[in-house]
Amino acid sequence: MTLPFKKATTPLSLMLSLLIIWQAVVQLSNIPEWLLPSPVRVLTTFWEVLPLLLHHSQSTLLATGAGLLTAITVAVALAAVMDFSPCVKQGVYPLLVISQTIPIISIAPLLIIWLGFGLLPKVVVVALVCFFPIVVSMVEGMESADPGMVNLLRVMGSSRWQIIKLVRFPAALPSFFAGLKIGGTYAVMGAVIGEWLGAASGLGVFMTRASYAYQLDRVLAAILVISLVSLLIFALIETTARLSMPWYYKERRTK
């Protein structure tokens, strides 16, 4: 029981130490608050503007959730199609890798022009950010399925879709959730990027307005919200993974 406690206390102790150092440097160096606010000032501002942050968070969370669900749906469907047809995989997989060489920040303005300033371009940006790690993890996980089980189902006359459903999908779950954790932590960042380039509300809009006014304490307060939301998404994914794969985590504990 002491091991999980140590795992939690170590990063918390390190973070607390960094905050103390940050607070001491700001106070001893007399750095202006508009240049580098202290942690105490950031927390004070956080509570002062919390209603405003919650208001802007609604738009960001909506884009984050819709984009992440879109990425999961498309990634799982495409991974199944690529596993079903090697020809499709040979043609599509290299394009997926090449697509990652294009910065999302350069595509976002085009999406604003094509799709307007509403919710849709933000959802697309989030989906693009989250899609690659999920689909690659899913494909690699399906390929790691037990060949013996696959051959057994083939001998029994199972179709390729039945093999995918009964063997390859369950085998890919650990890899899928590993990729989903990466995509989930990037999801809020994708929504904020979309809001930076054009939106009426959202944490990205809040941060842009605060930075223009040199209110760095508000910017850091918004970053704190983004971090907390990302951690919450990670925790939800981890909880879902443990509920979906109890045998996997039981095996890990045994080892």
Q: Give 182-230 pLDDT, tens digit per residue.
A: 999 999 999 998 888 777 889 999 999 999 999 999 999 999 999 999 9
CA distance 92 to 120: 25
What token pair was written down for 239?
Answer: 């909880």
What Cα–Cα distance (Å) separates residue 16 from each residue in 9, 22, 38, 86, 107? 10, 10, 13, 51, 38
Give me the domain span that covers residue 51.
34-254
Residue with tokens 């085009």: 110
What token pair was written down for 131?
Answer: 């899609």
Count of Cβ atoms closer than 10 Å to residue 194 Cβ: 31
CA distance 125 to 199: 13
What CATH number did the domain enclosing 215 receive?
Answer: 1.10.3720.10
Q: How confident is the model at residue 34 (pLDDT cuts 50, 70, 90)?
A: confident
Is the C-alpha dihedral spanning 40, 41, 45, 48 positive or negative?
positive
What rounded mean pLDDT belongs to the chain? Answer: 89
**Are 38 and 221 spatial neighbours (Cβ–Cβ below 8 Å)?**
no
- Is residue 23, in this structure, part of any structural domain at all? no
| Type of residue numbered 173 | L
CB-based burial of residue 170 (10 Å sphere; 0-12 exposed, 13-18 middle, 19+ buried)?
Answer: middle
Residue with tokens 């879709």: 161
The gap between the terminal CA atoms of the chain, to the nearest Å, is 16
- Is residue 54, in this structure, part of any structural domain at all? yes
Q: Say if residue 255's pLDDT is above 80.
A: no
CA distance 205 to 203: 5
CA distance 205 to 197: 9
Q: Over the stretch 102-155, which tens digit does the pLDDT of each residue have?
A: 888 888 788 888 888 888 999 999 999 999 999 999 999 998 888 888 888 888
- Is residue 39, in this structure, part of any structural domain at all? yes
- Is residue 169, in this structure, part of any structural domain at all? yes
- Is residue 229, in this structure, part of any structural domain at all? yes
Q: Say if residue 75's pLDDT is above 90.
A: yes
- Is residue 24, in this structure, part of any structural domain at all? no
> 62 Cβ partners below 8 Å, 6+ apart?
119
What confidence score (pLDDT) does residue 2 get? 47
Q: How many domains does the chain have?
A: 1
pTM over 0.95: no
What confidence score (pLDDT) does residue 83 get? 87
What token pair was written down for 86?
Answer: 């090697």
- Is residue 217, in this structure, part of any structural domain at all? yes
What token pair was written down for 141?
Answer: 């996980």
- Is residue 231, in this structure, part of any structural domain at all? yes
